[in-house]
Structure 1
Amino acid sequence: MKTKGTKMSCSDQNEEVTDIDGGSPLLDVKPQAIIVWRNVVLMATLHGAAIYALLCLTWKCYLYTLLWASLLYWVGALGITAGAHRLWAHRSYKAKLPLRLLLAMFDCIAFQMDIYFWVREHRVHHRFSETNADPHNAKRGFFFSHVGWLLCRKHPDVIEKGSKVDLSDLMADPVIRYQRKYFLPLMLFFCFIMPTTIPTLWGESLWNAYFIAAILRYCLLMNSTWLVNSAAHLWGSKPYDRSINPVENALVSTLTGGEGWHNYHHTFPWDYRAGEFGWRINPTTMFIDLMAVLGQVTDRKTTSRESVKSRKLRTG
């Protein structure tokens, strides 16, 4: 059954790019977006509830509840940054089973779909960045790359290229297989039930706990992550490769635990630090280094300073 949608007109400017798979030119035509109204309603409801929580409830709840929500924000962020992104999407380091289980749990707290789905979209994004095959193509504007891509039907190129991405390494990991199989109950528990229940232990009402520790925290983390796709592809400096859209954005790095050094990351995607300067506004790198000290992380991949300097001189 076909899903009905509404077409929004976009610019008809054409730009020719190269198909990395076959070498043939792709015509990067900004397509008409077909709105998925169910997603629009869900996102509008979520953001409306988050605004209500921010304006009406944050000043009523216990300080412990705000601290609890902040803790969940940052551990959820680690599930995306240290887990889905740097570990599973880019294989920039190796993690032992206990840490992989912990990161998979953190990923459920963040609820940005399961790790398998997240990694597939991200690998397509890197391979076909700023083309129609990029799920959140920043050339279609801030709103589209931030949230609009979730409100529209996928471009056919995204589906086609996504079906060809090699994900065999993911399915070889029992942690990924387990999380994918049981993602719905795991997500409901770790993203909504557990965050709502814990604050009642210090007397918080279920109403406040749900809207602050679950809804508001979840909405803020999603928007912070989306800024990597939008703001970090539009506004900032390009010291490593001026020919690509991704930029260095300190504000995005602050909100995401180190993911805003995006010109570096797209130039050297295998580097576990995702930035040149180690711990500079990069708590995710600190976390990975701490796990290495504790024996949970090995084989951290980096880029030599000589290679970075050479690339700066050549393309920065």
Structure 2
Amino acid sequence: MPPFIKTNVNDVLDSDIPDLEPSVELKGDLNDLLQAQKNQKPYKIQIVWRNVIIMGLLHVAAIYGATLCFGTAKWQTVVAAILLYVYTGLGITAGAHRLWSHRSYKAKFPLRLFLALAQTMAVQNHIYEWSRDHRVHHKYSETDADPHNAKRGFFFAHVGWLLCRKHPEVINKGKTISYDDLLRDPIVVFQRRYYIPLILICCFILPTLLPTLLWGETLWNAYFICAILRYVWTLNMTWLVNSAAHFWGRHPYDKNIHPAENYLTVYGAIGEGFHNYHHTFPWDYSTSELGWRFNLTTMFINAMAAIGQAYDLKQVSPEMIIKRKLRTGDIDTHGNYGLYNPPMMKESTSLHHRQDNDKQHQH
């Protein structure tokens, strides 16, 4: 989220962070937390009106920027905004998410620098804070400790969580997760220390100046299209992973959780919408069993691996995928999904439908 949007002063002191376990994923006292929530008094939302005003103005400015795309702006400026959206999106998806939050692969210094620059241009808070919130989201998904708990509604999961104070459980549970690995990365430490001047340069100044200098665009058009419109669009595409992908879509890997395979989000967030898979196997660098299909971020990471910049890519085996589909997936009711399925699934599904039809005819 934007750095000027603070929902509470809740940074964990570096000296208080314990050693990081091999995996931060999905070990937790969720049952105890859910039970405690039932006995709590209703939590009163505290709206932060400054955040509401800032977000409102940003979206109004983005809508104005969209009108300029069809008016006085040069076509090169519109193309530049699209390319910047893809680049900043990779800073979130391949960088803050898959690399720094989940450590699903490793990256050498030049790639980490490239992704950190893109993530800075996206202005969704520095890598340390983004990763911290995301690790808490996974470990305590859809509880009061989840920063953007989808059980509080679509709007809250999408943007409402940025417009009010954090639930106390988000702060309390966040202190139980380690972030030492992030603090050992000099790029993360540098970005965190100089974040405000960095975002002013990366997100607003450079995207405004470059179109003006390279092809003679006006500062006005460049600012509202390449800076503001591109920024707000990237924000909303990221937010859709928290909202739409927790409400609509199939659950082929785990039908007991809300995160779903949502193709609107797959396209909008350059590959991050395979959310049922991701919450089931959060350590997989590709976030999907489909490889490159509809997944620009996976294509990018594979390309970086081909030139030696990305390595130690973690991936789930086909055998594990099939077993998980059989154990908790929805393939018994919705049919096969993806590349890896139980051998007799098509035949058994067809037989199941035939038996249902026979019963209907008998009645």
Scaled to the shorter chain, the TM-score interval is over 0.9
Root-mean-square deviation (Å): 1.6
Q: Which residue of 2 aligns with 1:164?
A: 176
Q: Could you say which residue in structure 2 is the equivalent of 1:38?
A: 50
Q: Which residue of the partner structure matches residue 218 of structure 2?
A: 205
Q: CA deviation at 1:59?
A: 2.6
Question: What's the CA shift for 1:19?
Answer: 6.1
Q: Quick one: which of 165, 168, 178 aligns to 2:190?
A: 178
**Which residue is equivalent to 2:280?**
267
Alignment of 1:73-112 (within 5 A): 73-112=85-124
Rounded to whole Å, the distance in 1 between the matches of 2:70 and 2:55 is: 21
Deviation string 1:154-193 (CA, Å, 9 cap, x unpaired) is 0000011112220000001111101111111111111110
The answer to whether the Cα contact below 8 Å between 1:58 and 1:212 also exists between their aligned partners in 2 is no
Distance in 2 between residues matched to 1:27 and 1:49, nearest whole Å: 39
Counterpart for residue 84 of structure 2: 72
Amino acid in the other structure paired with 1:118: W
Could you say what secondary structure the match of 2:36 adopts? strand
Q: Report the secondary structure of 2:250's partner residue.
A: coil
Tell me by how many angstroms 1:276 deviates: 1.1
Give the alignment's TM-score, normalised by structure 2. 0.80
CA deviations over 1:11-43 (Å, ceiling 9, x no partner): xxxxxxx96289563215663311000000000
Q: Greater CA deviation, 27-36 or 210-219?
A: 27-36
Out of 295, 307, 311, the position equivalent to 2:308 is: 295
Preserved CA contact (<8 Å) 2:28 2:139 = no
Residues 136 and 144, structure 1, Cα contact 8 Å, conserved in 2: yes
Find the aligned partners of 2:85 and 2:195 in 1 and give their Cα distance: 19
Does the 8 Å CA contact 2:68/2:221 hold for their aligned counterparts? Answer: no
2: CA distance, partners of 1:51 / 1:267:
37
Distance 2:153 2:169 in 1: 18
Read off the aligned partner of 1:31 and give its amino acid letter: Y
Letter in 2 for 1:256: A
Q: Residue 109 of structure 1: CA displacement?
A: 1.0
Q: Select the residue among 61, 74, 97 that pairs with 1:62.
A: 74
Note if contact 1:82-1:284 (Cα within 8 Å) is conserved in structure 2: yes
Q: Counterparts of 1:16-55 in structure 2 under 5 Å?
A: 20=29, 23=32, 25-27=35-37, 31-55=43-67
Counterpart residue type for residue 203 of structure 1: G
Mapped partners of 1:244, 1:31: distance in 2: 23
TM-score by structure 1 length? 0.92
In the alignment, the residues of structure 1 paired with residue 256 and residue 133 of structure 2 have an alpha-carbon distance, to the nearest angstrom, of 23
Q: How many correspondences in the alignment?
A: 300
The question of whether the paired residues in 2 share the 8 Å contact of 1:19 and 1:26 is answered with no
Q: Aligned partners of 2:28 and 2:74: how far apart in 1? A: 54
Distance 1:23 1:101 in 2: 40
- Counterpart CA distance in 1 for 2:36 and 2:106 is 36
Alignment of 1:191-270 (within 5 A): 191-201=203-213, 202-270=215-283
Gaps of 5+ in 2: 1-5, 7-26, 330-363
Q: Counterpart of 2:200?
A: 188
C-alpha distance after superposition, 1:209-255 (max 9, x if no partner): 00000000000000000000000000110000000010001110101
- The 2-side partners of 1:203 and 1:189 are apart by 20
Distance 1:22 1:133 in 2: 12
Runs of 5+ unmatched residues, structure 1:
4-17
Aligned pairs for 1:5-20 within 5 A: 20=29
Partners of 2:130 and 2:233 in 1: how far apart? 18
1:63-107 CA-to-partner distances (Å, cap 9, x unmatched) read 110111111100000000000000000000000011001100010
d(CA) in 2 for partners of 1:159, 1:35: 17
The answer to whether the 8 Å contact 2:158/2:242 transfers is: yes
